[in-house]
């Protein structure tokens, strides 16, 4: 009887989303083991150091995904407000000297002994849950945009433009799907676009990134270096790739080879065809996620699933678009693949919530 109940529960959730998620986790671990080896050997004298850490986070994330898939989605509506305020407090804390660690000029992490917490990864889920609750209560225009504006302002203060873009995308996707007045929505989007331009224009490093994108090859050993190394990796891969484990760019030529730029290493080794297969897998994941949102049983679950789908899918699209030079480099990790415990764990919790919602579709 217990086996039959377990089988029934597994069959009732979106098994296709579950299987594609597990496949992406396994592929991601293989990619991190490959791309991080030279850096790990150079810094830690152990080429498996980073992948061993990622394996621990993947295990924890999968356990939390399983737990989240068992907790009825209405639980998140009950804790939405305190969860959101905790996220706000952590975003404030990371900006305080002595609490938040400054790395490469940015305050994005809170050191906690053997690991570092990245509050901006947690706020993606916290914001999605809170805006879903707002939508379910039929709140007015400002009830959506005030919390979104607060989160966006705190993240841009770190500074972290890439994460800010994802957070805004999550919010706009949820606000649009909530049925808000389209005139007000269009005005808010236009205002946000103008504000984003001003923030970029009056910030030195953001302006440099934009200019590098618009005028590549002007400084090949300086501001253009990262982009050029990415394009070299993609070009070297050709149609079929140089072979698994044979990347040259991962040998400390390409910055952030195991994190934000890991897709370039993958494309170099498996080529255009292999990268295309990976993109198709990502597209299938996004399709299954939004399908759950489309068929969700009520307003809260619909808007929550939309936010989680926009979060994970948006990161996939933005990371790959920046790797192939369709948009400026943003520093957004590739879900399931980029090295980083906070990002991987939170994405898997998000998937767990989607799986739970799929039980009621």
Q: How far apart are CA 299 and CA 217, in angstroms?
A: 49
| C-alpha Rg value of the chain to the nearest Å | 20
Lowest mean per-residue pLDDT among 22-31, 110-119, 326-335: 110-119
pLDDT surpasses 80 at 90: yes
Geometric angle at alpha carbon 118, from 112 and 123, rounded to 5°: 130
For residue 134, count CB atoms less than 10 angstroms from its CB and return exposed for 0-12, middle for 13-18, buried for 19 or more: buried
pTM: 0.90
> What angle do the packed helices 15-35 and 341-358 form, to 10 degrees?
170
Q: How far apart are CA 107 and CA 158, in angstroms?
A: 5
Place 1 in a pLDDT band, splitting at 50, 70 and 90. Answer: very low
Backbone angles phi, psi at 300, to 5 degrees: -60, -50
Of the candidates 355, 361, 353, the one whose C-alpha atom is nearest the C-alpha of residue 74 is 353
pLDDT (0 to 100) of residue 220 = 56
Q: How far apart are CA 227 and CA 280, in angstroms?
A: 24
* Mean pLDDT (whole number) for 300-318: 96
* Mean pLDDT (whole number) for 177-198: 76
Residue 96: in which H helix or E strand, if any? Answer: none
Q: How far is CA 299 from the centre of its chain?
A: 24
- Comparing 340 with 68, the larger pLDDT belongs to 68
Of the candidates 332, 315, 324, the one whose C-alpha atom is nearest the C-alpha of residue 259 is 332
Is the separation of the CB atoms in 238 and 247 below 8 Å?
A: no
Q: For 73-89, what is each residue's pLDDT tens digit?
A: 999 999 999 999 999 99
Is the separation of the CB atoms in 3 and 10 below 8 Å?
A: no
Place 107 in a pLDDT band, splitting at 50, 70 and 90. Answer: confident
User: Among all chains, which residue has been given the structure tokens 């400084």?
Assistant: 219
Q: For 195-247, what is each residue's pLDDT tens digit?
A: 767 766 666 555 666 555 555 555 555 566 778 888 888 888 899 999 988 99
Q: How far apart are CA 336 and CA 113, in angstroms?
A: 24
Q: How far apart are CA 126 and CA 298, in angstroms?
A: 19
Average pLDDT value for the chain: 86
pLDDT (0 to 100) of residue 327 = 82
Residue 130 to residues 81, 84, 171, 176: CA-CA distances in angstroms? 6, 6, 10, 15
159: cis peptide before it, omega within 30°?
yes
pLDDT surpasses 90 at 123: yes
Is the separation of the CB atoms in 180 and 188 below 8 Å?
A: no
Q: How far apart are CA 169 and CA 64, in angstroms?
A: 25
pLDDT (0 to 100) of residue 12 = 80
- Comparing 199 with 293, the larger pLDDT belongs to 293
| Overall number of domains in the chain | 1
Domain residue limits at 143: 2-358
């Amino acid at each position: 009887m217990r086996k039959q109940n377990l089988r029934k529960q597994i069959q009732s959730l979106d098994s296709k989303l579950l299987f594609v998620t597990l496949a992406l986790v396994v592929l991601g671990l293989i990619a991190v083991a490959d791309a991080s080896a030279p850096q790990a050997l150079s810094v830690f004298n152990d080429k498996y150091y980073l992948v061993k850490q990622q394996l621990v986070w993947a295990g924890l994330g999968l356990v939390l995904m399983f737990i989240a898939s068992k907790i009825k989605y209405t639980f998140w509506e009950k804790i939405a407000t305190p969860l959101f305020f905790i996220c706000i407090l952590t975003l404030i804390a990371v900006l305080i000297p002595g609490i938040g660690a400054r790395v490469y000029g940015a305050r994005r992490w809170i050191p906690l002994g053997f690991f570092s917490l990245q509050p901006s990864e947690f706020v993606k889920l916290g914001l999605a849950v809170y805006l879903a609750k707002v939508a379910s209560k039929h709140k007015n225009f400002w009830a959506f945009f005030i919390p979104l504006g607060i989160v966006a302002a705190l993240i841009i203060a770190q500074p972290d433009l890439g994460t800010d873009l994802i957070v805004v995308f999550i919010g706009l996707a949820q606000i649009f799907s909530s049925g808000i007045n389209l005139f007000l929505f269009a005005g808010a989007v236009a205002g946000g676009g103008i504000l984003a331009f001003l923030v970029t224009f009056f910030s030195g490093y953001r302006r440099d990134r934009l200019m590098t994108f618009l005028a590549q090859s002007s400084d090949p050993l300086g501001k253009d270096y990262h982009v050029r190394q990415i394009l070299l990796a993609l070009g070297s891969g050709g149609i079929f790739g140089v072979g698994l484990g044979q990347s040259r760019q991962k040998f400390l030529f390409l910055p952030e080879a195991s994190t934000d730029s890991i897709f370039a290493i993958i494309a170099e080794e498996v080529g255009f065809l292999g990268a295309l297969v990976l993109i198709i897998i990502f597209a299938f994941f996004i399709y299954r996620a939004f399908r759950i949102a489309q068929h969700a049983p009520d307003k809260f679950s619909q808007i929550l699933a939309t936010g989680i789908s926009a979060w994970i899918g948006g990161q996939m699209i933005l990371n790959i678009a920046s790797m192939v030079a369709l948009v400026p480099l943003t520093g957004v990790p590739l879900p399931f693949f980029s090295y980083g415990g906070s990002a991987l764990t939170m994405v898997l919790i998000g998937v767990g919530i989607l799986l739970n919602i799929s039980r009621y579709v």
